[in-house]
Chain A
Amino acid sequence: MEMPIPNPAVLARKARVVDRLLSVLPKDAVIHEEAETRAYECDALTAYKCPPMLAVLPSTTQEVSDVLRICHEEGVPVVPRGSGTSLAGGALPTADCAILGVARMNDVLDTDYENRIIRVQSGRTNLSVTGAVEEEDFFYAPDPSSQLACAIAGNIAMNSGGAHCLKYGVTTNNLLGVTMVMMDGTVVEIGGAHLDAGGLDLLGVICGSEGQLGVVTEATLRILRKPEGARPVLIAFDDNEVAGHCVSDIIKSGILPVAIEFMDTLCIKACENFAHAGYPDCNALLIVEVEGSEAEIDSQLAKIIEIAKRHNPVELRESQSAEESAKIWLGRKSAFGAMGQMNDYMCLDGTIPVSALPLVLRRINELSEQYGLPVGNVFHAGDGNMHPLILFDANMPGDLELCEEFGAEILKLCVDVGGCLTGEHGVGVEKRDLMLHQYTAEDLEAQMAIKDVFDPVWLLNPAKVFPLSVSQDRRVAQVAAQ
């Protein structure tokens, strides 16, 4: 993975920068000893590591503003960090950067059930947002599998999704406002408790901008009343393509399940061994979940089962109890971990039109044989967001490179059938160099123009999202200006 050459002038200023940061932050919030900065050397894309020059852990928006002002003045690149669970290397440091971690900012600032909103500091973890409103039977809808660990800050930066987004939408559909600090230290408020922010939809651009436009310190999120109940059904097929058709028919029927998850043979086996979820022995498994009262669930599942039967499933099994439902979901949510027990894996995240599912699955299998690397497929089928997991051996020389090449082929395939490179994990460094397969240079220029406005000096997470060759001039201008 190519990263920009660290700026020697910045490295030379380290002592001064540290002193200045210590003048605005408590001592334990400035981490600059080499042994300690190592804790921030990577995110969940562990194949790439680089300790930052330093890390700061501010506790307030004012402190974030002070830090950014100083880094701006000193020309220090800043990489914002939530919990470091990015699978795309979004929080990967460069050797000359300051990691700005928001983990200490995790308070709930306001819960307002009447208006159905919660305001939190951005370092709060996804699951603990729901935790804060559960007592009143509310929840925060976007549910990445990493929800125990990942922070709202990272969710906003990546516009994260989850299994239940088919019905409730992803982060951007559940975000009403942010407090954000710009690179020069200016604090801006965008949106708030009202449904649509005025003026241009800046909130829409900030969400998914991968920490390149500003550091989000607070967020107003939409919370929803919990449904009365939910229940999954397992539908097993001996053929991927048939499962794909079944998904399409369910969607078209007018039923809006909260989730339609798909697993293929390899994943089913891995999850079953790992979580003992009681999955049937089959080639393609759908988990379809619906919500409502008992009677509503019964009637929706009856409709789904009727549709599924037309496709001759090898097994149809409605969950009979809350424990069984929990087990079914535990299996699905531990898919990555389960595959990880088999070998090292690389997780892809392309999205395709649902109609292209059979074709893409067939092609992935062909490529798998060609590259000699096994692939497990587990994904959000309702919205076409695939997660092919390629197994490889990190200790085997050349295997990582082979795996990356294979992964790139799959992602290009996703684009070629009308989809995209990433549905919820973000571009980061991982998919940066594939961007020109989906977008033209002019398309990327239009996106970079937005960064020019928010961060004219290109100091915020500058080596991400755009191919380095494409962002080169802007980054070089920044270094030259010092």
Chain B
Amino acid sequence: MSDMRPETETELAEIVAGLAAPVRIVGGGTRGVPGPETALHVSGLQGIELYEPGALTLVAKAGTSVSEIETALAAEGQRLAFEPMDHRGLLGTTGEQTIGGVVAANVSGPRRVQAGACRDFLLGVRYVDGTGQVIKNGGRVMKNVTGYDLVKLMAGSWGTLGVLSEVSFKVLPQPEVTETLMVAVPDVTQAVQAMSAALSSPFEVSGAAYDPAEGHVMLRIEGFTESVQYRAAQMIHVVAGFGVVTRIGAAEAMWAGVRDVAAFHGVEGDVWRISVKPTDAPEVAEALQADGLVFDWGGGLIWARVPAGTDLRSRVGSLRGHATLVRADQATRDVQPMFHPEPAPLAAITQGLRTRFDPRGLFNPGLMG
């Protein structure tokens, strides 16, 4: 069967209802997620449907490009506060990332530590389930506890439960200014301590990352000018004991580099993304024996580069957290599942949900257990 590219939700629903074999759901295809031959493209579902800057809400069809949304928001001085990463540099993919893909992968950047993840900003979804039925959940208001929260469930479900057709978000104003402090710290243990000190201060850090290759902790402070000046000055006192502190301004390119893991662009090897309790990071990092490491989220997120084919999960043993295989060749993918194996009772729930949402097993089979 050849690839399909519906342009309306109704068309999408009809296509799904008529599917005879599994498909790979593709937004912009920038995440290079593996799957069946036949692709169901969602990028034909285009357009921002509602944007109310005064209510901080935006509703868009799932195939709308992230750049279109970011441009519309920027025109009103607003943004997607969860800072979705751009995977193209890391994965060597091309194409336009879609907002549906961002939701499906719950893609969240450095601001996760302060503002929250993609799922925290997602207010509502419409999707087509495996029988071709259109389902809605949530809406476009900030507070909504009416029935179960399928909005969160769909975020990060990687297209395994349904095909998103529309998503609505809470957006936030862009800050007046951004200031970054760079702290020279020689090792991971001290870096995590410095980031913990910063994140446990009242001075509202919106990014806390560590690049061990450079020996830099990076701390970001955003807001109105006077407030940022004040908080940056206070923050220098908080972290001064850990190493020399330098103020480097907004450092937008550097934060984009942290977000997109620029350190591993064009460098050989598998890339893993490991989520841990921040203070566990030094020990886990040591066990990884990686060729390259980047720490974000105050140490809670470790990006690791290892030789192709490495069984990274076996190196960390009983990890309290999880490891996702983000970049690898097919040979590695054949033996290493992308997502961390779940304990039996949770795996049974996951399987049960998939069977309910997609009884014919059409969507991205093989992904997520």
Given A192-B277, A193-B277, A204-B152; A354-B146 close (CB under 8 Å)? no
Contact B153 A188 (CB under 8 A): no
In the assembled complex, which residues on chain A have CB atoms less than 8 Å from the CB atom of B193? 114
Given contacts A193-B320, A194-B300, A431-B146, contact A205 B152 (CB under 8 A): yes
Q: Considering only CB atoms and an 8 Å cut-off, how many residues of chain B contact the other chain?
A: 83
User: Is the Cβ of A295 less than 8 Å from the Cβ of B143?
Assistant: no
Residue of A nearest to B275 (CB): A194
Q: How far is the CB of A323 from chain B (nearest CB, A)?
A: 22
| Interchain nearest-CB distance for A85 vs B (Å) | 15
**Once the chains bind, are A420 and B300 in contact (CB under 8 Å)?**
no
CB-nearest residue of chain B relative to A446? B135
What residues of A have a CB within 8 angstroms of the CB of B200 in the complex? 113-114, 116, 138, 225
Stretch of A20-28, A168-176, A370-378 that contacts chain B: A168-176
B342 at the interface (CB under 8 A from A): yes
B145 with A380: CB separation less than 8 A: no
Interfacial chain B residues near A46, Cβ < 8 Å: none
Tell me, yes or no, whether A353 is within 8 Å of chain B by CB.
yes
Given A115-B278, A201-B157, A226-B202, answer yes or no on A251-B56 (Cβ-Cβ < 8 Å): yes
**Minimum C-beta distance from B302 to chain A (A):** 11
Which of B140, B196, B324 makes the CB contact (< 8 A) with A115?
B196
Binds B, one of A71-79, A157-165, A264-272: A157-165
Residue contact A423 to B145, C-beta cutoff 8 Å? yes
- Asked if A420 and B322 make an inter-chain contact with CB atoms under 8 angstroms apart, the answer reads no
A299 touches B226 (CB 8 A): yes
B152:A201 contact, CB within 8 angstroms:
yes
Q: Which of A188, A299, A425, A446 contacts B129 (CB 8 A)?
A: A446
Specify the chain A residue showing the minimal Cβ separation from B127.
A446
Taking the complex as formed, is A406 at the interface, i.e. its CB lies under 8 A from any CB of chain B?
A: no
Known: A198-B342, A251-B55. A169 touches B136 (CB 8 A): no
B140 touches A353 (CB 8 A): yes
CA separation between A41 and B202, bound complex, in Å? 44
At the interface, yes or no: A131 with Cβ under 8 Å from chain B?
no
* A251-275 interface bits toward B, Cβ cutoff 8 Å, 1 = contact, 0 = none: 1111110000000000000000000
CB–CB B339/A158 < 8 A = no
Report if B139 contacts A (CB, 8 A): yes
Residues of chain B from 125 to 175 with CB closer than 8 A to chain A in the complex = 129, 133-137, 139-153, 155-157, 160-161, 172-175
A453 at the interface (CB under 8 A from B): yes
Q: Are B199 and A353 in contact (CB under 8 A)?
A: no
Q: Specify which chain A residues have a CB less than 8 angstroms from the CB of B275 in the assembled complex.
A: 194-196, 198
Contact A190 B346 (CB under 8 A): yes
Query: A254 and B176 in contact (CB under 8 A), knowing A205-B152, A353-B57?
Result: yes
Give the contact stretch, choosing among B112-120, B180-188, B248-256.
B112-120
Asked if B98 is at the interface (CB within 8 A of a chain A CB), the reply is: no
B contact set with A: CB distance below 8 Å? 52-57, 77, 106, 108, 112-113, 116-117, 119-120, 129, 133-137, 139-153, 155-157, 160-161, 172-176, 193, 196, 199-202, 224, 226-227, 230, 275-280, 297, 300-301, 320-322, 324, 339-340, 342-343, 345-346, 349-350, 352-353, 356-357, 368-369
Binding site for B on A (CB under 8 A): 112-116, 137-138, 158-159, 161, 165, 169-170, 172-173, 182, 186, 188-190, 192-205, 207-209, 225-228, 248-249, 251-256, 292-293, 295-296, 299-300, 303, 351-355, 380, 382-385, 418-427, 431, 435, 438-440, 442-444, 446-447, 449-454, 465
